C-alpha cells in the first residue's frame, strides 16, 4: 500500500510501485498497445519497464534488470497466459527483484507476498481464522483471514511466493488446485473463491542452499520455469553493482563519496574469479569457497564499505573499508573457506599490479 506523503522520507525501502511511480505513470500514458485483462500495462510496456528504454516523448525509463532480454520477454508472456511463472537461479541472481517489478508493472501492487520458510504452513497460502471472532460467532467469511494468494485471486492480481523450495512439500502442493483449477475451496463454509482475470502467481526458488525441498512433478507442471543466470560478463556485473549501490546509498542517506569504479571492479573481479574457480585470464585455477558470492553480496559489501568510509574514514571508499566485508562474504566456513581465501590472496591478489593495498588490508583481518 502507498504510504502517506509525509512518511515517504522515513521509509528505508519503498515498494517498487511507489519508488518508480513516475516511470509507471509515464509508461501508462504512452502505452497504446493491447493489454491482457486487468493488466495496468501492455506486455511491451512491462518489458520496457524492466529493461529500460526511451519513450516517444523522450522520457527515460531506467533498467531494473540488466541481462538477457529474451528471459524477461518469456517471463512477461508467461504471466499473460494461464500458467504460473517460476524464476529459478542461484542466490543473488535478482529473482525476487524481477518478481517484485513484474508484479508492480502488471498489477500495480507488489505487496501480495508469501515468504517461504521451513515454518510456512498451509494457512499462509490459503487462509487463516480470526479465532476470537470464530469462537464468538462461529465460522463465517468475516472470521476468515485471507492470505495474499486469496486476495490476489479475489482481486485479479499477481501473487508472489518467495523461496518455494524452502517450504515443506505438503505445503507446496497446496498451490496445485489454485494453479490448475483457479479456485480456492473453503470447505468450512461450503464455498470457494474463483480467480478473477489478471490473477497469476510468480514463484522463486533456488537449489543451491541446504535444506531444499524439491517441487513435486504435479506442481512443477503448473509453472513455466525461467532460469536467471549470473551476469554474463564482468562489465555487466560491474554495471549492476554500480547502479544498485547508488540507489541504496541514496535510501540510506550515506554522505560518502561515490565509490571509485576501480574498487567496484576489483570487488566484482574477486567474486567472479572465486565463483568460477579460475582467474579472469584463465591461467590460474582456483578453489571456490562454500558461499555463492552473488552480485547481491557484492552490492552489500560495497554498501558496507560506504558506511565504513562515512563514519570511520574521510568519506572516500578505499581498500581498507572493503576488506572486512570481502572477507566476511567469502569466509563462511572458518576452516575451509579461510584456506581458499588465503591461497587466493597469496597467489592472485599479492601478485597483481596495483592490488597491494587490498592485499595488506585483507591480510590484517585474516
For every residue of 127-159, which 3-state class applies, written as one string? EEECHHHHHHHCCCHHHEEECHHHHHHHHCCEE
Q: pLDDT at position 22, please?
A: 96
- Weakest-pLDDT range from 8-17, 68-77, 266-275: 8-17
Q: pLDDT at position 32, please?
A: 93
Q: pLDDT at position 13, please?
A: 85
Give the pLDDT mean for 295-303.
93
- Cell output for 72: 524477461
Phi, psi for 237 (deg, rounded to 5):
-70, -40
pLDDT greater than 80 at residue 249: no
Give the pLDDT mean for 103-126.
95
Q: pLDDT at position 5, please?
A: 52
Q: Which of 49-53, 117-121, 362-366 has the highest mean pLDDT?
A: 49-53
pLDDT in tens, 62-100: 999 999 999 999 999 999 999 999 999 988 889 999 999
Percentage of the chain exceeding pLDDT 70: 96
- Please report which confidence band the pLDDT of residue 7 belongs to, taking 50, 70 and 90 as the band edges: low
- Cell output for 30: 504512452
Q: Tell me the C-alpha distance between 97 and 202, whole Å.
A: 12
The whole-chain average pLDDT of the chain stands at: 91
pLDDT in tens, 342-355: 999 999 999 999 99
**DSSP E strand stretches across the chain:** 53-54, 60-61, 84-88, 113-115, 127-129, 144-146, 158-162, 183-186, 191-194, 200-205, 223-227
pTM check: above 0.85? yes
pLDDT greater than 80 at residue 209: no
DSSP 234-259: HHHHHHHHHHHHHHHHHHHT--SPPP
pLDDT in tens, 137-148: 889 999 999 999
Is residue 15 a contact partner of residue 104, using CB atoms and an 8 Å limit? yes
Write down the architecture of domain 5-227 according to CATH.
Answer: 3-Layer(aba) Sandwich (3.40)
CA distances, 275 to each of 1, 77, 234, 290, 339 (Å): 38, 32, 12, 9, 15
Is residue 199 a contact partner of residue 157, using CB atoms and an 8 Å limit? yes
Sign of CA pseudo-dihedral 202, 206, 211, 212? positive
List CB contacts of 152: < 8 A, sequence separation 6 or more.
112, 158, 159, 195, 199, 201
3-state secondary structure of 285: strand
Q: Tell me the C-alpha distance between 337 and 274, whole Å.
A: 11
Phi, psi for 351 (deg, rounded to 5):
-90, -10
- Please report which confidence band the pLDDT of residue 6 belongs to, taking 50, 70 and 90 as the band edges: very low
Is residue 245 a contact partner of residue 299, using CB atoms and an 8 Å limit? yes
pLDDT greater than 70 at residue 331: yes
Q: How many CA atoms lie within 13 A of 277 on its CB side?
A: 5
Q: Tell me the C-alpha distance between 312 and 33, whole Å.
A: 52
- Please report which confidence band the pLDDT of residue 210 belongs to, taking 50, 70 and 90 as the band edges: low
pLDDT greater than 60 at residue 302: yes
| Domain spans of the chain, in order of start | 5-227, 234-365
pLDDT greater than 60 at residue 211: no
Give the pLDDT mean for 284-310.
92
Q: pLDDT at position 291, please?
A: 86
List CB contacts of 334: < 8 A, sequence separation 6 or more.
none
Nearest-CA neighbor of 206 among 71, 85, 86, 88?
88
Phi, psi for 296 (deg, rounded to 5):
-60, -40
Amino acid at each position: 500500500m502507498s504510504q502517506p506523503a509525509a512518511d515517504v522520507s522515513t521509509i528505508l525501502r519503498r515498494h517498487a510501485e511507489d519508488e518508480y511511480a513516475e516511470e509507471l505513470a509515464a509508461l501508462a500514458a504512452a502505452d497504446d498497445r493491447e493489454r491482457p485483462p486487468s493488466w495496468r500495462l501492455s506486455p511491451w510496456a512491462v518489458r520496457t519497464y524492466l529493461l529500460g528504454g526511451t519513450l516517444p516523448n523522450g522520457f527515460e525509463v531506467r533498467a531494473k534488470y540488466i541481462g538477457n532480454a529474451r528471459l524477461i520477454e518469456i517471463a512477461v508472456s508467461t504471466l499473460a497466459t494461464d500458467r504460473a511463472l517460476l524464476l529459478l537461479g542461484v542466490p543473488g541472481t535478482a529473482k525476487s527483484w524481477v518478481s517484485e517489478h513484474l508484479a508492480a508493472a502488471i498489477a500495480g501492487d507488489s505487496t501480495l507476498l508469501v515468504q517461504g520458510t521451513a515454518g510456512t504452513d498451509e494457512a499462509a497460502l490459503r487462509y487463516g481464522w480470526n479465532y476470537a471472532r470464530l469462537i464468538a460467532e462461529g465460522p463465517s467469511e468475516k472470521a476468515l483471514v485471507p492470505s495474499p494468494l486469496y486476495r490476489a485471486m479475489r482481486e485479479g492480481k499477481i501473487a508472489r511466493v518467495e523461496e518455494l523450495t524452502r517450504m515443506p512439500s505438503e505445503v507446496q502442493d497446496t498451490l496445485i488446485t489454485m494453479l490448475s483449477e483457479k479456485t480456492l475451496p473453503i470447505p468450512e463454509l461450503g464455498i470457494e473463491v474463483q480467480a478473477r482475470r489478471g490473477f497469476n502467481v510468480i514463484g522463486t526458488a533456488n537449489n543451491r542452499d541446504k535444506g531444499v525441498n524439491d517441487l513435486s512433478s504435479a506442481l512443477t507442471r503448473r509453472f513455466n520455469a525461467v532460469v536467471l543466470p549470473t551476469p554474463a560478463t564482468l562489465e555487466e556485473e560491474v554495471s549492476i553493482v554500480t547502479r544498485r549501490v547508488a540507489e541504496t546509498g541514496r535510501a540510506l542517506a550515506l554522505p560518502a563519496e561515490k565509490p571509485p569504479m576501480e574498487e567496484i571492479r576489483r570487488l566484482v573481479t574477486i567474486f567472479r574469479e572465486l565463483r568460477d574457480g579460475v582467474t579472469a585470464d584463465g591461467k590460474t585455477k582456483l578453489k571456490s569457497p562454500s558461499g555463492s558470492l552473488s552480485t547481491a553480496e557484492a552490492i552489500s559489501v560495497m554498501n558496507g564499505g560506504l558506511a565504513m568510509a562515512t563514519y570511520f574514514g574521510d568519506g572516500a571508499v578505499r581498500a581498507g573499508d572493503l576488506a572486512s566485508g570481502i572477507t566476511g562474504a567469502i569466509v563462511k566456513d572458518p576452516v575451509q573457506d579461510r584456506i581458499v581465501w588465503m591461497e587466493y590472496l597469496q597467489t592472485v591478489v599479492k601478485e597483481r599490479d596495483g592490488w597491494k593495498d587490498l592485499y595488506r588490508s585483507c591480510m590484517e583481518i585474516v
